[in-house]
């Protein structure tokens, strides 16, 4: 037996060990724990909602429009109900029902493609002419060739960091075991992973492992995922409305998406600023050691967009900036698949800029697979999209197709 500071120590093996307390790992661990029948351990290198995590910013948009993709429309609606139920059960506000506006520059764009799926899934929406938009929200500029708007009144914003912290707290209250540990795969035998190890030499064993390590996932499996998931730096800008001006708060203005212009934003919540960010892929980024300082050009581009759509905020002061990251798959679809060499290891990630809103359903889906459900039993044959391979660049509805393919050509 080894003794002393350098000795390897072992934890008692749970049925399920989840690596990553971001939104995907957090929901998976929580649902596994409260569902009964499993002992669950959750690990995270820095803790839930930490500043380096993709899930750690304050707010995320939740919306049902996903182009013609009914599966994501259905998943987002089911997930929102889960978020609202969780908030009510635990007495914490996690959803701000601001609604979401889509600015459409074409009659045949992403917004129009979303309508059949919204109809099929019974999601309420309105189509607004520019003059109707101006009458309802005069703080929005419409004279730049805007064709129409799609409005989702039941959508809004999720409080991201608060949600991750609440999930981890509820998980531990329900009997789950949470630890701060940065781990990597350890020994394997007979097609099964036996353990993960942290930097201190501690060994963590389990019957089944779920690695939901967000932007660190491709670094854990570079040969397997290095060309499947790409981590990019995403600059987020918050500007401050004039004192006493409530027109840009969530009580007076919806969250919004401008698909063709590749910008999105969330109105001010809880005294914060008006948030806007580009929905395009930034430079490659190291989530552990990358400096989280926005590029000055990101502020210039944000002001240019504000002049175009929200002119009264064009020269509002920047009150906060954030750097987060996308961990985007080559096709924009999530990664939810068994490791090809270890039959007790599942890899979950590739949020691709739209994962937060779907996380409760991702957790449900994964646990059903752990319980033996086959692809096709829950949501139809489209579940094959979540496999590690093959992946076709630009195939997800949220991407701009050839633009995404060009991005990956550089990778």
Measure Cα distances from 187 to 191, 208, 342 in Å. Answer: 11, 14, 11
Read off the pLDDT of each residue in 182-186 and give the average, rounded to a whole number: 98
* H-run or E-run covering 167: helix 160-173
pLDDT at position 261, please? 96
Chain segment 101-133, per-residue pLDDT in tens: 999 999 999 999 999 999 999 999 999 999 999
Considering only 142-146, 287-291, 394-398, which range has the smallest mean pLDDT?
394-398
pLDDT at position 404, please? 36
Instruction: Retrieve residue 316's tokens.
Output: 């509002």
pLDDT at position 375, please? 64
| Beta bridge mates, 160 | none
pLDDT at position 6, please? 39
| Beta bridge mates, 177 | 41
Read off the pLDDT of each residue in 34-40 and give the average, rounded to a whole number: 92
Percent of the chain with pLDDT over 90: 87
Which pTM does this prediction carry?
0.93
CB burial of residue 41 (10 Å; 0-12, 13-18, 19+): buried
Read off the pLDDT of each residue in 63-89 and give the average, rounded to a whole number: 97
Indicate if the pLDDT at residue 272 is higher than 60. yes
Indicate if the pLDDT at residue 403 is higher than 70. no
Read off the pLDDT of each residue in 310-319 and give the average, rounded to a whole number: 98
Indicate if the pLDDT at residue 8 is higher than 50. no
Selection from 228, 260, 261 nearest residue 350 by Cα: 228
Percent of the chain with pLDDT over 70: 91
Indicate if the pLDDT at residue 3 is higher than 70. no
pLDDT at position 380, please? 54
pLDDT at position 322, please? 97
Read off the pLDDT of each residue in 136-147 and give the average, rounded to a whole number: 96
Indicate if the pLDDT at residue 262 is higher than 50. yes
Indicate if the pLDDT at residue 376 is higher than 70. no
Read off the pLDDT of each residue in 37-59 and give the average, rounded to a whole number: 96
Mean pLDDT of the chain: 92
Indicate if the pLDDT at residue 327 is higher than 80. yes
Alpha helices for 348-397 (secondary structure H): 359-370
* H-run or E-run covering 238: strand 229-239
pLDDT at position 390, please? 86
Chain segment 9-30, per-residue pLDDT in tens: 555 799 999 999 999 999 999 9
Q: Where are the domains of the chain?
A: 1-128+150-227+330-411
**What is the number of H-type helices and E-type strands within the chain?**
10, 22
How many CA atoms are closer than 13 Å to the CA of 181, on its beta-carbon side? Answer: 22
Measure Cα distances from 344 to 197, 340, 360, 369 in Å. Answer: 16, 10, 22, 12
Indicate if the pLDDT at residue 174 is higher than 60. yes
Please provide the DSSP assignment of 250-276 as one string.
TTTS-EEEETTTTEEEE-B-TT--EEE
Indicate if the pLDDT at residue 306 is higher than 60. yes
pLDDT at position 324, please? 94
Name the CATH superfamily housing domain 1-128+150-227+330-411: FAD/NAD(P)-binding domain (3.50.50.60)
Residue pair 73/62 in contact by the 8 Å Cβ criterion: no
pLDDT at position 378, please? 61
């Amino acid at each position: 037996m080894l003794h002393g500071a350098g000795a390897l120590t072992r934890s008692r093996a749970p049925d399920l060990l989840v690596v990553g307390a971001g939104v995907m790992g957090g929901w998976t661990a929580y649902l596994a724990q409260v569902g009964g029948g499993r002992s669950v351990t959750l690990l995270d290198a820095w803790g839930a909602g930490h500043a380096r995590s993709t899930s750690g910013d304050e707010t995320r948009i939740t919306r049902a429009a996903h182009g013609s993709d009914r599966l994501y429309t259905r998943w987002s609606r089911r997930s929102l109900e889960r978020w609202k139920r969780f908030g009510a059960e635990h007495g914490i506000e996690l959803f701000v029902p601001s609604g979401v506006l889509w600015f459409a520059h074409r009659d045949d764009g992403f917004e129009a493609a979303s309508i059949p799926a919204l109809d099929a899934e019974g999601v309420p929406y309105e189509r607004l002419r520019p003059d109707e938009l101006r009458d309802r929200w005069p703080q929005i500029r419409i004279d730049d060739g805007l064709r129409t708007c799609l409005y989702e009144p039941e959508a809004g914003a999720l409080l991201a960091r608060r949600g991750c912290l609440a999930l981890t707290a509820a998980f531990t209250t329900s009997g789950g075991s949470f630890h701060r540990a940065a781990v990597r795969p350890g020994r394997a035998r007979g097609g099964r992973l036996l353990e993960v190890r942290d930097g201190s030499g501690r060994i963590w064993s389990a019957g089944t492992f779920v690695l939901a390590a967000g932007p660190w996932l491709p670094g854990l499996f570079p040969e397997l995922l290095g060309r499947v998931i790409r981590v990019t730096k995403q600059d987020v800008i918050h500007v401050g409305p004039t004192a006493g001006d409530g027109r840009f708060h969530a009580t007076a203005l919806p969250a919004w998406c401008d698909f063709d212009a590749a910008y999105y934003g969330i109105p001010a919540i809880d005294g914060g600023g008006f948030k806007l960010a580009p929905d395009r892929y930034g430079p490659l980024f190291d989530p552990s050691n990358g400096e989280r300082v926005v590029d000055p050009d990101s502020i210039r581009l944000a002001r240019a967009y504000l002049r175009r759509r929200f002119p009264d905020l064009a020269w509002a002061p920047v009150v906060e900036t954030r750097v987060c990251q996308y961990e985007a798959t080559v096709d924009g679809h999530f990664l939810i698949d068994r490791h090809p060499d270890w039959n007790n290891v599942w890899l979950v990630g590739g949020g691709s800029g739209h994962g937060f809103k779907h996380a409760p359903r991702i957790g449900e889906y994964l646990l059903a697979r752990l319980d033996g459900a086959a692809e096709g039993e829950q949501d139809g044959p489209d579940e094959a999209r979540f496999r590690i391979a093959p992946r076709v660049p630009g195939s997800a509805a949220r991407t701009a197709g050839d633009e995404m393919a060009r991005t990956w050509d550089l990778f």
